[in-house]
Structure 1
Amino acid sequence: MTNIFAVILAAGQGTRMKSKLYKVLHPVCGKPMVEHVVDHIQSVNVDRIVTVVGHGAELVKETLGEKSEYVLQAEQLGTAHAIQQAEPILGKLEGTTLVVCGDTPLIRPETMQALFEHHAKQNAKATILTAVAENPTGYGRVLRDTDGKVAQIVEQKDATEQQKLVTEINTGTYCFDNKALFEALKLVNNHNAQGEYYLPDVIEILQQQGEIVSAFVTDSFDETLGVNDRFALSQAEQLMRARINEKHMRNGVTIINPATTHISTDAVIGRDTVLQPGVMIEGATVIGEDCIIGPNSHIVASKIGDRTTIHSSVVLNSTVGSETAVGPFAHLRPNSTLGDHVKIGNFVEVKKSVLGDHTKVSHLSYIGDAEVGNNVNIGCGSITVNYDGRNKFKTTIEDNVFVGCNSNLVAPVTIGAGSFIAAGSTITKEVPADAFAIARARQENKLDYVSKLYLK
C-alpha cells in the first residue's frame, strides 16, 4: 500500500483533566500521550503525519518536533472541523488516511496495520475501528443493519435509549480514502445536540453516496482507551506498564513484582537481569545482562553494563560499567561515568565525574567535578571541594591513589599517581606522584581543662 497519511486530533483543551498542562502532553509511562501515538504511527511507515493543534500548540510542536507537520484549529468546532484544517496539506493527495486521537496512547502499531489491511481488503472508502465495551457509556454507538453492515454512528448525547444498549462502540480511529474524506467533510453540518461538526457524520454521508463503509473490530477494548481525566490517565498508565513489563519478562528479564515496577517505553534491558520491587526506569535507559537492580532504585536515561548491581540508589543521565556495584543509598547525578569493577557505597554522591576501573568510594563521600583514575581508594567522608561560592573547579586524582578518611581535596588540585593522603587532611596544593601528603593541625592535649569550661 502506498501513500498512507495520518491525521492526529490534538486540539482539544481537555478541561476534565483539570490541569495547567495541555491534555495530550500528560505523560504515560514517562512519555507524553501524543508522542506515543506519533511513535506508533511512525512504526507502520506512514508517509506523512499531520497533527491538528489548538490549545497549547507551541508546546505540542516542541514535544513532537519534526516527527509531524502541524495545522492549527483556532476554534474548536468539532472533529470534522479539525480534520478540515489539514486540507491544505492533504486534501488533493491520493491515498489512505488514518485518523486517530492524540489522547489514545495504547493503540498498538499492530492494530493500526491490521486496520489498514482490512480497509484495503474491503475496498472501502471508510473503515471504523470499533470495540466491544462492557460499559459503553460516553462512547458513540456503532449501529449495524440486518446484514451486519455499518449503518450509522450515533453519539451518546444524540442516542435513543434503545441505541444506548448497543455495546459496539466507535473508538474514534478511522481509515479513509483521502480524497473521499475531504469531499465528504464539505457536507457535514452541525445539526446536533452539541452544535459541532462531527467526523462520524462522514460515515453516513459516504453511505448515502453508495460507498463501502466497513468496520474492523479490535479484540482489545483496553487499547482503545481515550484519556479524558485523571482516572483514565491512571488506567492508561497501568495498562501500558503491564504491557511493557510483559514484553521484558518474555524477553528474559525477571521482574519480581510487576505491579510496583515502572519501565519506560524506550528502555532496553538484557537477559537474566533482575528487577526487584519498586524499581523505576525512565527515559532511553540501557541495562545490560545479568544485572541486579535492587529495591526502590530509580534510573533515568542511563547506561548500565553487564553483571552490575544498583542497590536502592538513584542514577541520573550517567554511565555505569560492567561488574560494578552502586549503593545502597547512593546518588549518581548527571554526567557521571563509572568504569568496570567500581564500587560506590552507601550514602555516596557522584556528580559530573569520571571514575576509572577498580576504583572504590565505599561510603559517605562526595565526588563532584572530578576525574579519578584506576584503582583509587577514597576513604569514608572524603570530599572533592569543587565550589567556591561562584565557580566550579576540577579535581584530578591519578591512578593508584589512596585517600584517607575525612579528607578534603580543595579544587583545582591534582593528586599524583600512587600518592597517599593521610586521613583528616585538607589538601590545597598539588601532591606529586608517590608522595605522602598530610595537612592537618598538630594534636595538642590540655590536661584538666574540661572542668574549667563549666566554671561560672
Structure 2
Amino acid sequence: MTVSSSPLAASFTAPLAIVVLAAGKGTRMKSDLHKVLHPIAGRPMLMHLLASAAQLSPQHQVVVAGHGREQLEKALGSAATIAVQDPQLGTGHAVQQAEGALGGFDGDVLILYGDVPFVRAETMRAMLERLHGDDNPAVVVLGFEPADTLQYGRVIAHDGVVAKMVEHKDATEAERACRLCNSGLMAVRGADLFGLLARVGNDNAQGEYYLTDIVNVANGDGRVCAVVVTDDADEVMGINSRGELAIAEARWQDKRRAAAMADGATLVAPETVWFAWDTQVGRDVTIEQNVVFGPGVTVADNVVIHAFSHVEGASLASGVSIGPFARLRPGAVLEEGSKIGNFVEMKAARLGKGAKANHLTYLGDAEVGEGANIGAGTITCNYDGYFKHKTVIGPRAFIGSNSALIAPVRIGADAIVAAGSAVSRDVSDGELRLVRAEQLIKPGWADQFHDAMKKKKAEKAEKAKG
C-alpha cells in the first residue's frame, strides 16, 4: 500500500495512543537544547509532529525521554505524559517504558520519533487503516524508498507483507540491495505491543533491543505484518545534526513558498522569503525580496510587503503596505489601507485605517487614529525604565518630524504637533503644540568663528615647520 499526498478518510473507530521516542542524547547537535526542541519555521520539531498527530484525536500521548527530560516537561506541560528511559537500551526498550503510562490501553498505538517531525496525518491514518485490514496484521511498518539507502534498516516485503525486518549493520549484501527502507514508525494494537516487546532479544551487532524485531517475533508466530510505503521520503527524514536541521528547514520553506504562490500570492524572489509555521497569507499579496516572517502573522488580501522587512506577531489588513526595511513586532495591527514605510518599527501598536508612518519611526504601545500622519523620526517614548505607558494619537492628527511623544500622553483629533517637539502633556483636539526652545540668532558669528579657527590652524602648522 502506498500513501499518496491526498487526504484519506478514516474507516476505523478504535481509540488511539501516540508514543513518541525522544530519549536520544542528540550529541551530533552539540547543543544544550534538547534535539527535538530545535525549531523549524519557528516551531520545535516535536510540536510539528504532535500537531499532525492531533488531527487523529489520540486519547493518550506519551513522550519517552532520557537526556533533557526537564526541558521536555517544560515544553509539553500537560499535553503529554513523560516516560523515562534510563538506561537507554534501544528503541524496543524505549517503547516498553510507555507501558505504565498507557495503563492497560487496548486501542491502537502509533509509534513515532520526535526527530522525524513532518509525518503527515494522512500517512499516520493510512497506517492505522492498514492495521484494521482484512488480514488483521499484527504490526504495520511505514517504509520509504530514498535516493540513497545509506545506513537505513531494510524491510524485506512481498506484495505489502513483511517477510523480515533487518538493521543495516545486521543485513546481508543481498538484503542491503533491497531499496525499501524502514522509517521506524509503526502501528500496533495495544493488546499486542508489550507482549511482543517482552519477547525481543538483544543478540545483534549493537547489543540493543530493536523495536523492529517485534515484526520478526510476530512473523514467527505465523501472523501477518504489513508495510505502508510513503510516496514522499522527505516526511520521514530524521534530523540528527545542525546540517540536517538546515536541510529540513530549507525543504519546509520550499513547500511553504510553493503553497503561498499556489494560493495567489506573488513572491518576487521566492528563495529569499522565510515563513513561520503559522504564517497566513491572503490572495494578491506581493512579497518582495528578503522578507522574514516570525510566528503569529496574518496577512489579508492585497497587501504589499516590500524588501528586507521583518514581521512577527502582527496583523495586516487589506490594502496595507509596509517597508522596505520595516519591522513589525508582536502586537502590531495595521488596519485597512494603512502604511508603514522604510525603517519604521511597531510593537504592541495599532495603526488606524489609512494612517501612515513613512520614515524612521518607532511606535510602541500606541494607538494611532484613522488618517493620522506620523512624521519622520517620531518616536513614542513608552518605557520609563520600570513600566510601559501608552500613547494615543487621534484621527487625522499630524505629528511633525523628529517629535518625541512621552507616554502616557494623548494627542487629540486633528491636532498638530510641530516638528522637533517633545510632548509630555495631552494635546487637545484641533490644537497646535510646539515644544522647542526659542531660536537664538547671532549675525556674523559663524564667519568670525571660521576666521579664528583658520588662523589658529595656520599658526599651528607654521610652528610645526619651525
How does the TM-score come out when normalised to structure 1? 0.88
1:410 aligns with 2:406: yes
CA–CA separation in structure 2 for the residues paired with 1:46 and 1:111: 15
Q: What is aligned with 2:316?
A: 304
Distance 1:246 1:125, change over 3 A: same
Q: Which amino acid aligns with 1:33?
A: M
**Aligned-pair CA distance for 1:128:** 1.1
Q: What is the match of residue 325 of structure 2?
A: 329
Instruction: Tell me how far apart the structure 2 counterparts of residues 429 and 185 of structure 1 sit (CA, whole Å).
Output: 74
Identity across matched positions, percent: 40
**Higher mean displacement: 200-209 or 244-253:** 244-253
Amino acid of the structure 1 residue aligned with 2:150: T
Map of 1:253 onto structure 2: 265
1:265 aligns with 2:277: yes
Cα distance change of structure 1 residues 110 and 14 upon mapping to structure 2, 3 Å threshold: same
Q: 1:218 to 1:433 in 2, by over 3 A?
A: closer
1:291 matched to 2:303: yes
RMSD value, Cα: 2.4
SS at match of 1:67: coil
C-alpha displacement of 1:392:
4.1
Pick aligned residue for 1:361 from 346, 357, 360: 357
Which residue, out of 91, 102, 105, partners 1:90? 102
> Which residue number corresponds to residue 148 of structure 2?
135
**Partner Cα distance (2:443, 2:267) in 1:** 62
Does the CA contact (< 8 Å) of 1:256 and 1:274 recur in 2? yes
Deviations 1:339-370 (A, max 9, x none): 33323222223333333333332222333333
Stretch of structure 1 that moved more, 407-416 or 170-179? 407-416
Separation (CA, whole Å) in 2 of partners of 1:302 and 1:243? 23
Rate the CA distance shift 1:365–1:144 in 2: closer, same or farther, 3 A. Answer: closer
Question: Does 2:93 match 1:81?
Answer: yes
Tell whether the 8 Å contact from 2:393 to 2:412 is kept in structure 1 after alignment.
yes
Q: Paired residue for 2:463? A: none
Between stretches 69-78 and 439-448, larger displacement belongs to 439-448
1:318 paired residue number: none
Choose from 69, 72, 91 the match for 1:57.
69
Letter of the 2:67 partner, please give it: H
Where 2:132 maps in the other structure, the secondary structure is helix
- Which of 97-106 and 272-281 deviates more? 272-281
SS in 2 for 1:110: helix
Distance 1:391-1:86 versus aligned 2 partners, 3 A rule: closer
What is the Cα deviation at residue 159 of structure 1?
1.9
Q: 13-22 vs 346-355, which deviates more?
A: 346-355
Aligned residues of 2:376 and 2:401 also touching (Cα < 8 A) = yes
Task: Name the TM-score, length of structure 2 as normaliser.
Answer: 0.87
1:402, 1:418 within 8 Å by CA — same for their partners in 2? yes
Residue aligning to 2:170: 158
Q: Give the corresponding residue for 2:342.
A: 346
The 8 Å contact of residues 106 and 236 in structure 1, kept in 2 or not, is answered as no
Q: How far 1:245 sits from its partner (Å)?
A: 2.6
Contact 2:306–2:325 under 8 Å retained in 1: no
Query: Structure 1 pair 125/359, CA: closer, same or farther in 2 (3 Å)?
Result: same
Deviations 1:65-120 (A, max 9, x none): 33322211132111111111111133622222111111111221111111211221
| 1:444 and 2:423 aligned | no
Which residue does the alignment assign to 1:16? Answer: 28
Distance 1:408 1:127, change over 3 A: closer
Please give the secondary structure, in 1, of the residue aligned with 2:110: strand
Matched, 1:32 2:44: yes
Match of 2:236 in 1: 224
Contact 2:338 / 2:355 at 8 angstroms: preserved in 1?
yes
After TM superposition, give the deviation of residue 390 of structure 1 in Å: 4.7
Given that residues 379 and 406 in structure 1 are in contact (C-alpha distance below 8 angstroms), is that contact kept between their aligned partners in structure 2? yes
Please, which runs of 5 or more residues in structure 2 have no aligned partner?
A: 1-11, 457-466
Which SS does the other structure have where 1:347 is aligned? strand
**1:95 and 1:302, CA in 2 relative to 1: closer, same or farther beyond 3 A?**
same
Structure 1 residue 102 and structure 2 residue 98: aligned? no
Structure 2 Cα separation of the partners of residues 248 and 378 of structure 1? 32
Unaligned runs of 5+ in 1: 310-325
Please give the per-residue CA displacement for 1:366-402, whole angstroms capped at 9, x wherever unaligned: 3333333333223222333344455444333333332
CA contact (8 A) 2:314 2:330 kept: no
Deviation at 1:305, TM superposition (A): 1.3
Query: Shift of residue 148 of structure 1?
Result: 7.1
Aligned residues: 439
Letter in 1 for 2:361: S
> 1:353 aligns to what SS in structure 2?
strand
Deviations 1:234-279 (A, max 9, x none): 2222222223233333333333433333223322222222333333
Aligned to 2:4: none
Question: Residue 339 of structure 1 contacts residue 357 of structure 1 at CA under 8 Å; is this kept in 2?
Answer: yes
